[in-house]
Amino acid sequence: MATIDTPDIAADETLPVPGKKVFIKTFGCQMNVYDSERMAEAVSPLGYAETGVLEDADLVILNTCHIREKAAEKVYSDLGRIRQVKDERRLAGKDTVVTVAGCVAQAEGQEIIARAPAVDLVIGPQSYHRLPELLYRARSESRRIVETAFPEEDKFSRLPEARVARAATAFLTVQEGCDKFCTFCVVPYTRGVEYSRPVAELVAEARKLVAAGVREVTLLGQNVNAYHGDGDDGRPATLATLIRKLSEVEDLERIRYTTSHPRDMSDDLIRAHRDEAKLMPFLHLPVQSGSDRILAAMNRKHTADDYRRLVGKIRDARPDMALSTDIIVGFPSETDADFEATLALVAEMGFAQAFSFKYSPRPGTPAAKMDEQLPETVKSERLARLQELLDQSQARFNAGCIGKTLPVLFEKSGRHAGQLVGRSPYLQLVHATAEPAVLGHILPVEISAAGPNSLSGVIRAA
Q: Is 132 in the site for ligand F3S (CB under 6 A)?
A: no
Q: Nearer to ligand F3S by C-beta: 86 or 197?
A: 197
Q: Which is nearer to ligand F3S, 314 or 354 (CB)?
A: 354
Q: Using CA atoms, how far apart are residues 97 and 135, in angstroms rounded to an integer?
A: 8
Residue 346 in the binding site for ligand SAH (CB under 6 A): no
Q: Is 66 in the site for ligand F3S (CB under 6 A)?
A: yes
Choose the binding region for ligand F3S from 23-31, 146-154, 160-168, 255-263 (rule: CB under 6 A).
23-31
| 218 lies in the site for ligand SAH, by CB under 6 A | no
Contact mark string toward ligand F3S, 191..210, x via CB under 6 A: x-------------------
Residue 287 interacting with ligand SAH (CB under 6 A): no
Residue 181 lies near ligand SF4 (rule: CB under 6 A): yes
Nearest by Cα to 231 from 243, 220, 242, 223: 242
Q: Which is nearer to ligand SF4, 26 or 222 (CB)?
A: 222
How far the first Cα of the chain sits from its last, in Å, is: 63
The binder of 188, among ligand F3S, ligand SF4, ligand SAH, none, by C-beta within 5 to 8 A per type, is ligand SF4
184 binds ligand SAH (CB under 6 A): yes
The yes or no reply on residue 97 touching ligand SAH (CB under 6 A) is no
CA distance 53 to 431: 29
In the complex, least distance from residue 64 CB atom to ligand F3S, rounded to whole angstroms: 7
What would the x/- binding string for ligand F3S be over residues 76 to 105, using CB under 6 A? --------------------------xx--
Shortest CB 281 distance to ligand F3S, Å: 25
Q: Which of residues 140-169 bind ligand SF4 (CB under 6 A)?
A: none
Q: How far apart, in whole angstroms, are the C-alpha atoms of residue 123 and residue 68?
A: 20
State in angstroms the smallest separation of the CB of 462 from ligand SAH: 37
Q: Does the protein bind ligand F3S through residue 28 (CB under 6 A)? A: yes
Q: Is 208 in the site for ligand SF4 (CB under 6 A)?
A: no
Query: What CA–CA distance (Å, rounded) separates 269 from 262?
Result: 12
Q: Does 32 sit near ligand F3S (CB under 6 A)?
A: yes
Give kind and range of the element (H or E) at residue 357. Answer: strand 353-358
Q: Of 23, 27, 282, 357, which lies in the binding site for ligand SAH, with binding defined by CB under 6 A?
A: 357
Residue 222 interacting with ligand SAH (CB under 6 A): yes
386 binds, among ligand SAH, ligand SF4, ligand F3S, none (CB under 5 to 8 A by kind): none
Count Cβ atoms below 10 Å from residue 136 Cβ, excluding itself: 17
- Site size with ligand SF4, rule: CB under 6 A: 10
Output the CA–CA distances (angstroms, integers) from residue 402 to 346, 445, 446, in the order listed. Answer: 23, 11, 8
- Residue 68 binds ligand SAH, judged by CB under 6 A: yes
Out of ligand SF4, ligand SAH, ligand F3S, none, what residue 328 binds, judged by CB under 5 to 8 A for its kind, is ligand SAH
Binding track over 274-313 against ligand F3S, x by CB under 6 A? ----------------------------------------
Dmax over CA atoms of the chain, in Å, equals: 73
Picked from ligand SAH, ligand SF4, ligand F3S, none, the partner binding residue 83 (CB below 5 to 8 A depending on kind) is none
Q: Which of 62, 187, 294, 447 binds ligand SF4 (CB under 6 A)?
A: 187
User: Taking the complex as a whole, how short is the minimal distance between the CB of residue 186 and ligand SF4, in angstroms?
Assistant: 7
Helix (H) or strand (E) holding 443, with range, is: strand 442-450
The full DSSP string for 100-141 is: EEHHHHHHHTHHHHHH-TT--EEE-GGGGGGHHHHHHHHHHT
Residue 178 binds to ligand SF4 (criterion: CB under 6 A) = yes
Helix axes 336-349, 304-317, angle to 10 degrees: 10
Name the strand (E) or helix (H) holding 21: strand 20-26
Q: Where are the alpha helices (DSSP H) in 173-221?
A: 187-190, 199-211
CA–CA dist 452, 183 (Å, integer):
33
Peptide bond before residue 190 is cis, with ω within 30 degrees of 0 = no
- In whole angstroms, give the CA distance from residue 50 to residue 61: 11
Nearest of 439, 440, 446 to residue 461 by alpha carbon: 446
Closest distance between ligand SAH and the C-beta of residue 16, in Å?
37
What burial class does residue 31 get, using C-beta atoms within 10 Å of its C-beta: 0-12 exposed, 13-18 middle, 19+ buried?
buried
For 251-352, strand residue ranges (E) read 254-258, 282-284, 322-329
Residue from 213, 247, 229 nearest 173 by CA? 229
Residues 243 to 282: which contact ligand SAH by CB under 6 A?
259, 261
Return phi, psi of residue 452, to 5°. Answer: -65, -30
What is the CA 310 to chain-centroid distance, rounded? Answer: 24
Contact 354, 325 (CB under 8 A): yes
Q: Which residues bind ligand SAH (CB under 6 A)?
A: 67-68, 184-185, 187, 222-223, 259, 261, 286, 288, 326, 328, 357, 359-360, 362
Q: Which residues bind ligand F3S (CB under 6 A)?
A: 28-29, 31-32, 65-67, 102-103, 186-187, 190-191, 222
